[in-house]
């Protein structure tokens, strides 16, 4: 009986480690049904580019999620970054516009965390608070842009190369994603701060008693999320060629889907950058397959919702099992 219990615990320990890889492999196998299109060089390159921007956004959001919070403003934050990086180039130059976009996104993240701190919001309250702030920022972005679309035709060449160029045969978008994943992966897994983020997500009170500043740790996580949203927005603008206030709409939910598929826990305390990469690309491949299958937007939304519910349900089940059958 004890041996069986031990085997079950070992299985529960390794399941999250390989579930996201299994999902990604499954998506690729499904692509065999449309292999002549799915495995074409054009489609593969499109998947790599689409996933790169979302992965950068998700990695930053993942820090907040691991710390036990959630920030639903990252999508509109990304859109604001894209808008500023394009519309301000004539006034302050491409370099100035990019720096301004980064500064504004970090300021928004600081404001978010400041409001969370002042209100002493927790869990569900943080989700509702950031969702409400998303509505505020969306309205401000629409007012700023006049709800118009802006083209990047007058932008600097080096700015456009960020999203459309390549280096050493690899799209620049991929280089940005890989650098972000490696750098923040080291921070999360090898540095003291990364361990503190995980501990805060697992048990904030115990972390506080151990001398860890919970609020300061979460503040840095929000800043990292803001920086990643800024970079993602700049790359999105450079890649698509057209940007508007709603360009980042629902990107936060795409990021959440990718993170949960990758094995991140919605309760906090569990996640890694490689999980974000694998999870987001599994999600990107799934969306690509639905497009190739000719599914309409409503059907795709339903499928995405079912996948997210299933991933969250698995996360809850595993947490309850690890806790010995007792839910928090």
Helical (H) or strand (E) element with 40: none
The confidence score (pLDDT) of residue 84 equals 93
The confidence score (pLDDT) of residue 124 equals 74
Domains, the chain, ordered by start: 18-322 (1.10.3470)
Lowest mean pLDDT among 62-66, 269-273, 277-281, 308-312: 308-312
Q: Answer for the pair 266, 124: CB distance below 8 angstroms, yes or no.
A: no
Residue 203: CB partners within 8 Å, gap ≥ 6? Answer: 269
Residue 114: CB partners within 8 Å, gap ≥ 6? Answer: none
- Condensed to tens digits (0 to 9), the pLDDT of residues 232-282 reads 999 999 998 888 888 877 889 899 988 988 888 888 888 889 889 988 998
The confidence score (pLDDT) of residue 44 equals 85
92-110: b (≥16 Cβ within 10 Å) or e: eebeebbbbbbebbbebbe
What's the predicted TM-score (pTM) here? 0.88
Nearest to 23 by CA among 258, 296, 181, 255: 258
Q: Answer for the pair 197, 65: CB distance below 8 angstroms, yes or no.
A: no
The confidence score (pLDDT) of residue 128 equals 87
The answer, yes or no, to whether residue 153 has pLDDT greater than 80, is yes
- Condensed to tens digits (0 to 9), the pLDDT of residues 172-183 reads 999 999 999 999
Q: Answer for the pair 61, 252: CB distance below 8 angstroms, yes or no.
A: yes
The answer, yes or no, to whether residue 324 has pLDDT greater than 80, is no
The confidence score (pLDDT) of residue 23 equals 62
Chain Cα centroid distance, residue 120 = 24
The answer, yes or no, to whether residue 122 has pLDDT greater than 80, is no
Q: Answer for the pair 100, 83: CB distance below 8 angstroms, yes or no.
A: no
The answer, yes or no, to whether residue 123 has pLDDT greater than 80, is no
């Amino acid at each position: 009986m004890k041996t069986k219990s031990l085997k079950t615990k070992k299985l529960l320990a390794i399941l999250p480690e390989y579930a996201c890889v299994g999902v990604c492999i499954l998506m690729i196998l499904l692509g065999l049904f449309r292999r002549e299109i799915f495995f074409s060089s054009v489609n593969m390159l499109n998947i790599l580019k689409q996933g790169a921007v979302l992965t950068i956004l998700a990695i930053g959001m993942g820090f907040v999620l691991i710390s036990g919070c959630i920030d639903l403003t990252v999508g509109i934050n990304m859109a604001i970054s894209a808008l500023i990086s394009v519309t301000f180039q004539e006034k302050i130059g491409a370099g100035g516009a990019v720096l301004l976009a980064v500064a504004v996104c970090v300021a928004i993240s600081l404001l978010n965390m400041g409001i969370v701190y002042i209100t002493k919001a927790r869990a569900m309250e943080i989700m509702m608070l950031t969702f409400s702030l998303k509505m505020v920022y969306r309205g401000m972005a629409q007012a700023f842009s006049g709800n118009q679309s802006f083209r990047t035709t007058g932008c600097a060449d080096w700015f456009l190369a960020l999203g459309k160029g390549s280096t050493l045969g690899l799209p620049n978008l991929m280089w940005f994603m890989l650098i972000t994943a490696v750098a923040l992966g080291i921070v999360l897994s090898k540095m003291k701060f990364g361990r503190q983020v995980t501990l805060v997500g697992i048990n904030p009170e115990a972390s506080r008693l151990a001398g860890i500043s919970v609020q300061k740790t979460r503040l840095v996580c929000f800043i990292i999320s803001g920086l990643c949203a800024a970079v993602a927005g700049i790359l999105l603008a450079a890649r698509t060629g057209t940007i508007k206030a709603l360009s980042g709409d629902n990107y936060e939910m795409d990021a959440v889907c990718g993170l949960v598929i990758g094995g991140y826990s919605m309760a906090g305390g569990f996640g890694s950058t490689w999980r974000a990469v694998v999870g987001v690309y599994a999600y990107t491949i799934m969306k690509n397959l639905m497009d190739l299958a000719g599914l309409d937007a409503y059907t795709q939304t339903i499928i995405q919702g079912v996948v997210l519910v299933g991933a969250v349900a698995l996360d809850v089940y595993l947490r309850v099992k690890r806790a010995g059958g007792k839910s928090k």
